Amino acid sequence: MLPYAGFFILAATSLLSAVLVITRRNPVHSVIWLIVTLFSVGGIYLMLQAEFLFAVQVILYVGGIMVLFLFVVMLVNLDVAVKRAQFRRKWQVALLTAIILAGELAYALLRGRAAFPLAAARPATAALGNTQAVALSLYQDYMLPVEIASVLLLVAMVGAVIMAKKELD
């Protein structure tokens, strides 16, 4: 009974803090609530005995990326950013996105597990640790998607550098 209570507490904390991320007007408060959300998800990973994912979640996302977000948000001149009208009247795009997501959710609920068939899980051997199992799965079964994701991230980084350089000139 205790694991269920822990899961429900972490899940409720994660959902509540995720809602607070998108409803807070102050960006610093939103970043802090996002940190709470990421810690809650990390706790869920730990309860599922996915220690590697927990460590990555806490060290990489909470420890690194969120601190970077917090510094960026604190250094950006928010008065100028609020006055820009670049994203103010894009409710049509938001409505279209919401309709598409609602359609996908309805499709998944109506079709059940048959809508999204998953590959059969391989039995984990006792000799392999959690980190080894993740590494073998990533670099044997999912080598192509990992490489595609790495190329996309590289292109995004190069694009961000080019865009930032053009703004400075």
Write the pLDDT tens digit of every residue in 96-141: 989 999 998 898 888 877 777 766 666 655 556 777 887 888 888 8
| Domain limits, the chain | 1-84, 129-169
pLDDT score, position 83:
59
Task: Assess contact for 41 and 14: CB atoms under 8 A.
Answer: yes
- Measured between alpha carbons, how far is 12 from 22 in angstroms, rounded to an integer? 16
Can you say how many angstroms the Cα of residue 23 is from the centroid of all Cα atoms in its chain? 17
Look up the CATH architecture of domain 1-84.
Answer: Up-down Bundle (1.20)
Residues of the chain with confidence (pLDDT) below 50: none
Q: Taking the complete model, does pTM exceed 0.75, yes or no?
A: no
Tokens representing residue 81 in the block:
């950013």
- Please give the C-alpha separations between residue 3 and each of 16, 45, 58, in angstroms, as whole numbers: 20, 13, 21
